[in-house]
Amino acid sequence: MALLELKDVQTFYGNIQALKGISISVEEGEIVTLIGANGAGKTTTLMSICGITPIRSGQIILKGQEISKLSPNRIVKMGVSQVPEGRRIFPQLTVSENLDMGAFLRTDKEGIRRDMEQVFTIFPRLAERRNQLGGTLSGGEQQMLAISRALMANPHLLLLDEPSLGLAPLVVQNIFEVIQKINKERKTTILLVEQNANMALKIANKGYVMQNGVIKIADTAAHLLENEEVRKAYLGL
């Protein structure tokens, strides 16, 4: 059974239909990537999974349970956390307070403290800046903070929305390594939305290509890297 399954999901913003019936399945332990042009509906897909933009029809099934009617906090409680597009860290809270907010639904103080130390070993730059205000971090550091904050929820399923956006190539490399590491060491399943299709497909098991609110192609990452259409449209080859 898949960890997460979207069945014919449709989402609207008012009268605008952003998702026109998409189906995605994510197996336990996988890295799945969702690629597509601007406005394809990738962010909307993640927001629908989290319950932040409610869906109009279809089903979202997490661990065998229908979650599309649940409130966002219930869904987070079930082990889904998101690194939203554009980082969205809390600028007036310090790095450690940001991390603490990531663990908001957890009450095990000891575990939270331990996990905080652990994310600091993943991103030592954050450890140095734990008392700095989030808003004064550099873009790359903010992205590290956003990922760490999502990890603080101790998720089974981590949703990442364009983690490489606006970062220097070296930092992007680092972020992708960390994503792989999280997947391997913590056994966290990952759904990764990326513009950087090449890198995303290289670390993913499976990929979905989205266009105008529908899934255009679904295949293994290796096949997608070979696919003529994908190579032309998204890999710029």
Partner 1 sequence: MKLRSILADIGKSLATAVWFMVLLFPLMVMKVNVARGVAQIQFRWNLLPLVGVGAFVLSYAWRIALEWNERRGANKSEGMSSRIRAAGAAYLARPAVRTSSLLVLLAFVIAFPFLFGMYHTNVMITAFIYVILGLGLNIVVGLGGLLNLGYAAFFGVGAYTYGLIWKYIGPSFVAAGMDPGWLFWISLPLAGIIATLFGILLSLPVLRLRGDYLAIITLAFGEIFRMVMQNSGDLTGGATGISLIPRPWFFGQKLPPTKAATYIYFIAIVLVIITIFVVRRIEDSRVGRALEAMREDEVACEAMGIDLVKNKLITFALGAFWAGIAGVLMAAQTTYINPDSFTLWESIIILMAVVIGGTGSIPGVIGGAILLKLLPEYFRALAQYRMLIYGIAMILVIIFKPDGLIPRKRKQYTFERKEATK
Ligand X SMILES: Nc1ncnc2c1ncn2[C@@H]1O[C@H](COP(=O)(O)OP(=O)(O)OP(=O)(O)O)[C@@H](O)[C@H]1O
Q: How many CA atoms lie within 13 A of 48 on its CB side?
A: 32
Q: How far is the CB of 158 from ligand X (least distance, A)?
A: 17
Least distance in angstroms from the C-beta of 129 to partner 1:
6
Name the binder of 219 from partner 1, Mg ion, ligand X, none, CB < 5-8 A by kind: none
Q: How far is the CB of 98 from Mg ion (least distance, A)?
A: 22
User: Applying CB under 8 A, which part among 30-38, 74-82, 174-182, 185-193 lies near partner 1?
Assistant: 74-82
Q: Which of 127, 203, 217, 222 binds partner 1 (CB under 8 A)?
A: 127
Tokens encoding 15: 């009268």
- Contact of residue 41 among Mg ion, ligand X, partner 1, none (CB under 5-8 Å per partner type): ligand X
Long-range contacts of 117-120 (CB under 8 A, 24+ apart): 119/148, 119/151, 119/152
Q: What is the number of the residue whose Cβ is closest to Mg ion?
A: 43
Contact pattern from residue 52 through residue 91 relative to ligand X, giving x for each residue in contact according to CB under 6 A and a dash for the rest: ---------------------------------x------
Measured at the CA of 179, the angle between CA 184 and CA 152, to 5 degrees, comes to 90
Q: How far is the CB of 26 from ligand X (least distance, A)?
A: 18
Binds ligand X by CB under 6 A, chosen from 24, 42, 149, 163: 42
Instruction: Name which of residues 81 to 110 contact partner 1 (CB under 8 A).
Output: 81-82, 84, 88-94, 97, 100-102, 104-105
Question: Angle at CA 45, nearest 5°, toward 5 and 68?
Answer: 55
Interaction between residue 132 and partner 1 (CB under 8 A):
yes
Contact string 60-99 vs Mg ion (x = CB under 5 A): -------------------------x--------------
Q: Where are the alpha helices (DSSP H) in 10-137?
A: 42-50, 72-77, 95-102, 109-122, 124-128
**Is the torsion defined by CA of 89, 68, 188, 196 positive or negative?**
negative
Of 169, 98, 118, 160, residue with least CA distance to 140 = 169
- Output the CA–CA distances (angstroms, integers) from residue 182 to 42, 173, 177, 178, 236, in the order listed: 22, 14, 9, 6, 29
- Identify what 39 binds: partner 1, ligand X, Mg ion, none; CB under 5 to 8 Å per kind: ligand X
- DSSP state at residue 136: G
The interaxial angle of helices 169-185 and 139-151, nearest 10 deg, is 10
Minimum distance from residue 76 beta carbon to partner 1 (Å): 3
Interface residues with Mg ion (CB under 5 A)? 43, 85
Residues that bind ligand X (CB under 6 A): 13, 16, 18, 36, 38-44, 85
